[in-house]
Amino acid sequence: MAKQVHIGKTDLVVNPIGLGTNAVGGHNLFPNLDENAGRELVRTGLANGINFLDTAFIYGPKRSEEMIGEVVKESGKRSEIVIATKAAHKFAGNEIVVDNSPAFLEQAVDEALQRLQTDYIDLFYIHFPDKDTPKDEAVGALQQLRNEGKIRAIGVSNFSIEQLKEANKDGYVDVYQGEYNLLAREAEKELFPYVINNGISFIPYFPLASGLLTGKYDKNTNLDEKRGKFFKKDLFEATLEKIERIRKIANDKGAEVAHVVLAWYLTREAIDVIIPGAKRSEQVLHNLKTLDIQLTETEIQEIDQIFNS
């Protein structure tokens, strides 16, 4: 069994390589998703040591949670799997709005429990901040749900540093999920020091910069066919050069670019676990190989510098 780690100060113990499942049923986020491939990649992960799944109401919406619920149930291993989900979005007519009110969060947890076919959620996040709700009140509502046994740990995502401080006034926040990768390192400035000092675990999203940091693209890639901010021409081209330097480190270790990139995140003090996403089972298996490599102190610093220049 792979080494297991605690997520921050929680009693959640997991393989440090988890699985992001926004492409499992996330039809509103990605075109032409194949649900069978989605179910299969979750099964593959579970069969190969992954025990931490990250989903959300808005992936689908609802469909990702439903599919995770199905696959976890069929596995018969609910008690061995740590499920994280998130909510805050709600439909207001045709619009989707964000609501952090205690009443809505309670309702959102109850509805997520149904879709996930479970009676507790291991880690529940407020997915995005709203404008009006005091953040300590929102988290206070989650603490109440923790006391009732409906959730085991509390997370917030996409909060500013000020919102995080307000949310954590009573020390109830266990996990912060935010964007972080070698191309987007803003979180290092204020969020990392705060989470480290307050026993909060930082879980980075977009760790592979939507696939760019796997090293699978080159100068012939047709960027018109790629969606997302990491595929803007200037950033893309500058990143290809840096990736070639990472490839050299990877080659020397008999590994591949994605493994070196993912392993580097696990050397950050603020980070205990990562949740790379996947669209196919092979990608899940590939990302798990990260656990086979160990970066030296010199390599860690070199990677830092390559992406700081």
Ligand X SMILES: NC(=O)c1ccc[n+]([C@@H]2O[C@H](COP(=O)([O-])OP(=O)(O)OC[C@H]3O[C@@H](n4cnc5c(N)ncnc54)[C@H](OP(=O)(O)O)[C@@H]3O)[C@@H](O)[C@H]2O)c1
Binding site for ligand X (CB under 6 A): 20-23, 54, 157-158, 177, 205-211, 214, 216, 258, 275-279, 283, 286-287
Q: According to DSSP H, which parts of 55-134 are helical?
A: 63-75, 102-116
Find the catalytic residue in 59, 125, 180, 217.
Answer: 59
At 98, is the secondary structure helix, strand, or coil? strand
Residue (149 or 226) nearer to ligand X, CB = 226
Count the residues in the chain. 309
Q: Nearest Cα to 44, choosing from 14, 73, 67, 75?
A: 75
Residue (69 or 277) nearer to ligand X, CB = 277
Residue (158 or 201) nearer to ligand X, CB = 158
CB of 259 to ligand X, least distance (A): 9
Q: CB under 8 Å, gap of 24 or more: what pairs does 229-233 form?
A: 230/183, 230/206
**Residue 119, strand partner residues:** none
CB of 265 to ligand X, least distance (A): 11
Rounded CA-CA distance 223/209 in Å is 14
Lookup: tokens for 143: 């603490």
Q: Nearest Cα to 109, choosing from 89, 139, 138, 87?
A: 87
CB of 298 to ligand X, least distance (A): 25
Cβ(191)–Cβ(205) below 8 Å = no
CB of 297 to ligand X, least distance (A): 26
Residue (8 or 207) nearer to ligand X, CB = 207
At 274, is the secondary structure helix, strand, or coil? strand
Rounded CA-CA distance 297/308 in Å is 17
Which residues, at least 6 apart from 283, have a Cβ–Cβ distance to it below 8 Å? 41
* DSSP tag of 150: S
Residue (168 or 215) nearer to ligand X, CB = 215
Q: What residue number has its CB nearest to ligand X?
A: 277
Q: Does the annotation mark 125 as catalytic?
A: no
| Side chain identity at residue 50, one-letter code | I
Residue 52, Cβ density class (10 Å: 0-12 exposed, 13-18 middle, ≥19 buried): buried
Residue (148 or 238) nearer to ligand X, CB = 238
Q: What residues act catalytically?
A: 59
